[in-house]
Structure 1
Amino acid sequence: MHGVPEHPEQQPRSRHLINRRLVVSRRSRRSPLPRRGGRTLIGLLAASLALAAPAGASPRGNGDEALRNRLQELVDRPDGPPGAIAVLRDGGRVRVVRAGVAEVGTRRAPSTTDHMRLASASKAYSGAVALRLVDRGLLGLDDTIAHRLPQLPQSWGHVTLRQLLNHTSGLPDYSAAPDFIELIQAEPHRVFDSRRLLDFVTDDDLEFAPGSRYHYSNSDNIAVALMTEAATGQRYEDLLVSQVYQPLGLTRTSLPVGYQLPSPRLHGYDVEPGSRPQDVTTLFGASGSWASGGMVATPADFNTFMAGYAGGKLISTATREQQRSFVEGASEPAGPGSNRAGLGIFAYTTRCGVVYGHTGNTAGYTQFGAGTRDGRRSLTLSITSQVNQKNTPDLLAHLRDVEEDFVCALLGSPHKP
């Protein structure tokens, strides 16, 4: 289903982008991808809180000014995002730091109430739903695909929920499948049957023995969501409401089917040095990423979620201990410091301490969200362009350094040793 572009004067380049930049979290190793200026041009789609502080509040204090300068450094780069916003919460104290604009051509600063795409940070939400059901005894971490999803290939049958959540399943990545890429290239606003996304790889064997190694795959969280539906008889979208939105009081978080975002929105951009940033906010629909990368939220809601999820407010102590059984593996894109993969969550060990959360990148957006072990402190940092190791390695290194400074500010250790 196609719609009228929000900026008709940019329509010709928008159509060109559709053919050259299908953005997600990782590229296929099986299909050669066209490139422009050394950058990967066709990636893989979809991986791509109710705050007390008023949205328009200005950051105060020397510490916040230093953090704002760090965000401004990103925005001022030739390949940098047009806008950036970070939310830091310490108990009841909320700090908002921002740079740039929410929409190119305006002077409006990014706001905590602007809607944005969460990309692969969506995987934390499917993890939250699954772990809540584990707490209720409706799912088990050692439940297998054969038991819960017998319609999937028999060769996948021994894969467990635990292995799906920590990306050690071996499931082939549907978003790397040539047929999927061809369809999304031809029709970026295509409405997929999200519950059939794994059909693109059901003829493929596992890539390795389940549990034998880590490999980030968008298929994992599609299977997680399908398991939650099989265990409850409820739609995943409804489970998000009952298991995540309502317990945390999230009122501006959603999992859309189409390509539109609610207003107000934080616009996402394709940035090419020397050219005007191209608005790609509505370039792709969300149904092709679903539980793996389709969530939409505001910086405020995203921050509240991360506090509740990282701090275990949503799950019991016993389940939280299982969640924090880590293996070596980085999120996509990598977050600050060293990364390890848990069950729907990553540990980021920085020079100032450890936080727990998730990252994500998709067309127009890169996300980092994390919280402390006790959930008292949380941080989200959102920028309005896609940054990853394949396309923008230098910018990613800069972004990770900035993220680490924000983690240090969150933990009360702002200065480098």
Structure 2
Amino acid sequence: MPTRAPARRSRLRTGLSATVLTAAALGGLLQPAVAAGDPGPADGPGRHDKALQRQLDRLVAQEDGPPGVIALLTRGDRTQVYTAGVGDIATGRPPHPDDHMRIASIAKAFSGAVALQLVDQGRLSLDDTIGERLPDQPEAWHAVTLRQLLQHTSGLPDFSTAPRFLEILTADPRHVFDPRTLLDFVADKPLLFEPGSLYEYSNSDNIAIALMAEAVSGRRYEDLLKELVYRPLGLHRTSLPLGYRLPRPYLHGYDVQPPAEPEDISEALGASGVWASGGIVSTPKELGTFIRAYGGPSMLSAQTRKEQLTFRPGDSSEPAGPGTNAAGLAIYQYTTRCGVVYGHTGNFPGYTQLAATTPDGTRSLTFSINTQTSKGNKPALLARLRTVQEDFVCALLKKP
């Protein structure tokens, strides 16, 4: 209703700073576990695990839980699709494997895929520094290496926490930033610590990675994504937009703050303010294709993959993934009670994501809910989510 619009805008803006810090540092109707629509001849619902389905049903039934959830378990050429709740409250439509959605910080794995392939091509080195590749960046940052950026041990201050950045975004959530100048918001800041000495998740890292990739290739980062990731993997529904609109159809994202009704914030924010650190839009199905390639052995040389999979124990993605986390180069190791998977998580207003694969790249899990949760935003929901995700990982690793 028009009379409620100002209140809705006010509520969104009031919570925006905390939301953006989380995202940029970034009760629905129950549905049976079926493959929505026709996922294609290689897919099928198969035999669904009733215990897993109950887990999803309980997740969406929580008072502050997501309106909907979709999980894809892929083994070879077979995919099981589990859904609960709705992907669109207005229509009651369930989530679908081909729904577009904001993948949030899983976009950092895409920047890793670009950078590490450039390493394989000899155009970048993991020991290249900001000073060598981006000499116009602050001199205090010049010793930071690509390896440190990829593993969040750079010490770069996070632009997404800068007061001026938040001021602009709070005044206009759909403001279009020039993504190549996002680091300017913290250009007057020193490093937070000596590079390589500590771990701190920072969105600035992946902006710098994309800029280094552009510098050595002479090509726009968006074009590098197409050349090195989308086309080789056949990703036709994956993109990096700068605006706020999502391609149709899409999984609607919601701000869930009981007792208020869930608010659709799918297109409340533009993506230019997160760019290479969190702006990519994809689908559950294509996200699975990507993570099997990036976390498996097919995309990178053995030497580069060895570097990629050199993990720092205890360092978590944001939000933390299932089990015990360890940080590699734009990828994380999740050690669960049933075994190990590699992947990445992400959260953005309206969305929380996990994509994981077995080390051999033959199996994958994507797990998407359409509300945001993190350690600073609904930690109890995150704890419950991680438990459910671990159960799905166990199902993924279970022998047929």
Question: Which interval holds the TM-score relative to the shorter structure?
Answer: over 0.9
Opposite residue 326 of structure 2, the aligned amino acid is R
Q: 1:319 aligns with which of 286, 292, 304?
A: 304
TM-score (norm 1): 0.90
Deviations 1:375-407 (A, max 9, x none): 000110000000011121110000000000000
Distance in 2, matches of 1:148 and 1:186, equals 34
Opposite residue 184 of structure 2, the aligned amino acid is D
2:31 corresponds in structure 1 to none
Distance in 1, matches of 2:109 and 2:177, equals 22
SS at match of 1:354: strand
TM-score (norm 2): 0.93
1:365 corresponds in structure 2 to 351
Q: 1:16 aligns with which of 10, 16, 35?
A: 10
Q: Check whether the contact 2:343–2:355 (CA below 8 A) recurs between aligned residues.
A: yes
SS at match of 2:356: strand
Q: Check whether the contact 1:18–1:185 (CA below 8 A) recurs between aligned residues.
A: no
SS at match of 1:224: helix
Q: Check whether the contact 1:22–1:44 (CA below 8 A) recurs between aligned residues.
A: no
**1:254-269 map, 5 Å:** 254-269=239-254
Query: 2:342 aligned with 1:380, yes or no?
Result: no
| Farther-moved stretch of structure 1 (139-148 vs 98-107) | 98-107
Q: 1:190 aligns with which of 159, 175, 186?
A: 175
2:38 corresponds in structure 1 to 54
2:391 corresponds in structure 1 to 405
SS at match of 2:287: helix
Q: Check whether the contact 1:115–1:265 (CA below 8 A) recurs between aligned residues.
A: yes
Query: 2:215 aligned with 1:230, yes or no?
Result: yes
Distance in 2, matches of 1:291 and 1:400, equals 25
1:200 corresponds in structure 2 to 185
Deviations 1:241-297 (A, max 9, x none): 000001111000000010000000000000012221000001110000000000000
1:128 corresponds in structure 2 to 113
Q: 1:310 aligns with which of 283, 295, 303?
A: 295
Runs (5+) with no aligned partner, structure 1: 1-6, 24-39
Q: Check whether the contact 1:82–1:101 (CA below 8 A) recurs between aligned residues.
A: yes
SS at match of 1:61: coil
SS at match of 2:365: strand
SS at match of 2:24: coil
Distance in 1, matches of 2:193 and 2:25, equals 21
Aligned-residue offset at 1:413: 6.6
Give identity over the alignment, percent: 57
Q: 2:147 aligns with which of 162, 176, 185?
A: 162
**1:76-225 map, 5 Å:** 76-225=61-210
Aligned-residue offset at 1:359: 0.3
Distance in 2, matches of 1:248 and 1:108, equals 29
Aligned-residue offset at 1:22: 2.4
Distance in 2, matches of 1:281 and 1:41, equals 13
SS at match of 1:109: coil
Aligned-residue offset at 1:18: 3.4
2:32 corresponds in structure 1 to none
Distance 1:363-1:19 versus aligned 2 partners, 3 A rule: same
Deviations 1:305-359 (A, max 9, x none): 0111110321111110000011131000000000000000000000000000100
Q: 2:228 aligns with which of 238, 243, 254?
A: 243
Distance 1:265-1:279 versus aligned 2 partners, 3 A rule: same
Opposite residue 15 of structure 2, the aligned amino acid is R
The Cα RMSD (Å) is 1.8
Distance 1:41-1:175 versus aligned 2 partners, 3 A rule: closer
Opposite residue 249 of structure 1, the aligned amino acid is G
SS at match of 1:254: coil
Opposite residue 283 of structure 1, the aligned amino acid is A
SS at match of 2:16: coil
Distance in 2, matches of 1:9 and 1:361, equals 31
Deviations 1:139-195 (A, max 9, x none): 000000000000001110110000000000000000010000000000111000000
Q: Check whether the contact 2:20–2:348 (CA below 8 A) recurs between aligned residues.
A: no
2:325 corresponds in structure 1 to 339
Distance 1:8-1:400 versus aligned 2 partners, 3 A rule: farther
